[in-house]
Amino acid sequence: MSNRRYNGEQVIDNWDSVFRALSSEPRRQIIVSLLDAPADQSVPLPESAVNPNVPPNTETLRQQLHHAHLPMLAEMGFITWETEPFVAARGPQFEEAAVVFDALHTEATSIPGSLVFGCQRLEEEQQQNIDIE
């Protein structure tokens, strides 16, 4: 049996940091892009911060990455990044963010369609309107 002691407040702070980091789409996309890349390779920016289903404003995204998203992820140790070339790589704490996506992938079939496809609510509302008429 381990004599390891847990600091509940620290655990809460750690999870809050992970969810805060993952609360923005560009940051989520960077983590996913790094998961898809070999562990020792960087990913190009801003391309790796873009959701493939949403066309980006590349210049605005580049500025947001440089001034907000990348510094936040780097401060938490999830990534490292450089401006020339503009790339991101896994940081020393990368696994703390990556584990969320690993868990989601494992449970992919249990995730509600509205979180995957974004249209389930619309379809339900349309069906309700048909039923009412």
Tens of pLDDT, residue by residue, the chain (133 residues): 556 667 889 889 988 999 999 999 999 999 999 999 999 999 999 999 998 888 889 999 999 999 999 999 999 999 999 999 999 999 999 999 999 988 877 766 776 777 767 655 555 555 565 555 5
In a domain, 3, yes or no: no
In a domain, 2, yes or no: no
In a domain? residue 1 = no
Report residue 116: phi and psi, to 5°: -100, -45
Look at residue 4 in the predicted model and tell me its pLDDT: 67
Tokens of 64: 């947001």
Structure-token match 């999830």, residue found: 78
Number of domains observed in the structure of the chain: 1
Q: What is the CATH number of the domain that holds 16?
A: 1.10.10.10
Quote the pLDDT of residue 110: 76
Measured CA to CA, the distance from residue 120 to residue 13 in angstroms comes to 33
Domain containing residue 44? 8-132
pLDDT at 99: 92
